[in-house]
Amino acid sequence: MTPRASRRLRPEVRALVDRPRADVLVIGAGINGVAIARDLALNGVDVVLVDRGDVAAETSAASSRMVHGGVRYLENGEFRLVRESVEERNRLLANAPHHVKPLPTTIPIRNIFGGVANAPLRFLLGRQPRRQRPRGALLIKTGLWLYDAYSNAGRAADGTSVPRHRFVGRARTFEELPDLHPATRFTATYFDAMVSRPERYAWDLASDAARTGGLRLATYVEAVGHEGEAVTLRDELTGHEWGVLADVVVNASGPFTDLTNGALGERTAYMGGTKGSHIVVDNAELLAACRGREIFFENADGRIVLVYPMHGRVIVGTTDIPADASDPVVCTEEEVDYFLELAAHVFPGIPVTRDQIVFRYAGIRPLPAADATEPGRISRDYRVEPGTLPGTALPVLSVVGGKWTTHRALGEQVGDRVLALLGLDRFVATDALTVGASRGLPRPDDQDVWVRARLPGVGQARGRELLARYGTDAIGVAGAEVATKATARRLRTLPAYSVGELSHVARTERVVRLADVALRRTTLAFEGLLTEESVEELADVVGDALHWSRRRRRDEVELLVNRLREAHGVDLRRRHSVPR
């Protein structure tokens, strides 16, 4: 490589080119890949983590944003998965309180005995009956009683768990949720949890690993082949290719696991994912009707509907449709029709229309290949498939399956497998380890005192806003914001954000594309706050921080605008800018 070509490489890519050797190469920086890399780096392993896109840019960014034990899995007989999931949910509530919060979830119920005859068929035979009825009060009460038992037994090390479920009749139901469908006879409310900024949480995990000095992370770098025992990597920005040698390769590319193995020369058929889509709605009446709860509703066809508030908007989802990971995945117009119809079925008096949709997204669940005729019956559990790089003895571990909630446990189990292959012992456990920006997080009652002491110069209201966004990392953000009059300036089109804040994010959080900021480091796209003008202004702020040329800024704007239109149903030409 010529000196001129070397100068074009990003520092993180140049670091891999200059030292193309590691103990472990992890391919895929989704939630599971990041969790594996963190577990290994914390235990003294030299890890390289690469992804063809950004951190948590694909499946991990397209979830329902729930951290849950999987009450539905009980009916499928997946008791091990439920036990582990509620334990991990409780650990996340304890270890990542900045990101993970309790979520009251209410199930509207219209009959007493529905599903009682069908449940044994689902449990024993693994199939749905020909004629389905929504689950009734008796079956739901039984399931939640068992779910509570798992939750109580799976308390975190500090005792963290969630309250027991509550079952109320019609009168109390409509006192609490007056906009529900009038046919509702009971409601059952239980607690799970939600992750409000899943992409930032994944970045927190990666930051934890990087702080050990044991992780080298390079995004927009794809594994495209191998020569002998060296895996060939390609920088997506420059096209530069080089080989990396590792003692173990972990394929954690989620629904793309078979495609990654194919690129490495090994044909596998481990995966059989399904597409899950969601819409995000700006509807004040619907937001108020939720009363801060998730509404978890079973449609007559057996599909599940989720309606719940997030960042002042309402998420409506989800679908479960067989999908091919080699094809683009988008939320279709038919799915939108389905969501609007079901929202009306839950809250019939509240109009929800297409023009209220500010964002839509879809992803492929990394499910194992299965013969199940119904996607909902496919296991959400995970396993590790051992193999070797073709023509060599180099171990390759392929991660199959896994869900957002169990990422830490999966990372630990894969970590144990890798440590055994390397002949190393574990000396750090992650089950009680606080995650990133949750370290030192003040309790709600102590936040004002914390802001005054730790975020001088930004003001109390602004300090609380930064604390909510960045946790204790708000200290660095606030420092960047108040550094000068220029950095303290708010963006004209996005007045909730400052120049210093976004510049700090761009410089310190491995931002490569403008979309990294708009879609993942912030909730700008999710909340529907982007316009043509705001994208241009955002490109200038990020471009100044990263020294982009005018041409690079134009290219990044075009990429982001196209991405929003094609993948998220957002046409910025139809949006008007925020007034001055």
Q: Contact 411/443 with Cβ under 8 angstroms?
A: no
Scan for tokens 């999710």, then name that residue: 526
Query: What whole-number percentage of the chain has pLDDT above 90?
Result: 77
Gap between the Cα atoms of 218 and 235, Å rounded: 9
Pairing of strands 241-251, 395-401: parallel
Q: Answer yes or no: are the C-beta atoms of 250 and 399 closer than 8 Å.
A: yes
Higher-pLDDT residue of 5, 571? 571
Q: What is the pLDDT of residue 153?
A: 76
- Which residue is listed with tokens 């027991």? 164
Q: What b/e sequence results for 384-414 when a residue is b if at least 16 CB atoms lie within 10 Å of its CB, and e otherwise?
A: beebebeeeebbbbbbbbbbbbbbbbbbbbb
What does the alpha-carbon distance between residue 165 and residue 105 come to, in Å, rounded to a whole number? 9
| C-alpha to C-alpha distance for 25 and 248, rounded to whole angstroms | 6
Q: Are 127 and 373 in contact (CB under 8 A)?
A: yes
In the structure encoding, which two tokens stand for residue 560, read together?
Answer: 């982001």
φ, ψ (nearest 5 deg) of residue 173: -55, -50
Q: For the purposes of burial, counting CB atoms within 10 Å of the CB of 3, is it exposed (0-12), middle (13-18) or buried (19 or more)?
A: exposed
Which helix (H) or strand (E) segment holds residue 171: the answer is helix 170-176
Q: Is the pLDDT of residue 483 over 60?
A: yes
Which has the closest alpha carbon to 467: 441, 502, 498, 503?
441
Which pLDDT value is given to residue 120?
37
Q: What is the tens place of the pLDDT at every residue in 221-279?
A: 999 999 999 999 999 999 999 999 999 999 999 999 999 999 999 999 999 889 999 99
DSSP code of 152? H
64 half-sphere exposure, CB direction, 13 A CA radius: 25
Residue 271 phi/psi, 5° resolution? Answer: -100, 150
The reported pLDDT for the residue numbered 156 is: 78
Tokens of 204: 């927190």
Taking Cα atoms as reference points, which of 393, 404, 51 lies closest to residue 236? Answer: 51
Asked if residue 200 has pLDDT above 50, the reply is: yes
Residue 278 dihedral angles phi and psi, to the nearest 5°: -145, 155
pLDDT of residue 580: 32
Grouping H, G, I as helix, E, B as strand and the rest as coil, residue 13 is: helix
Q: 3-class SS at 52?
A: coil
**Angle (nearest 5°) at CA 192 between 188 and 195:** 140
Asked whether the predicted pLDDT for residue 102 surpasses 80, the reply is yes
Mean pLDDT, the chain, integer: 91
Q: How much is the average pLDDT of 122-147?
A: 65
Q: What's the burial of 311, exposed, middle or buried (CB within 10 Å: 0-12/13-18/19+)?
A: middle
**pLDDT value for 121:** 36
Question: Residue 504: its pLDDT value, please?
Answer: 98
Which residues neighbour 479 within 8 Å (Cβ) at sequence distance 6 or greater? Answer: none
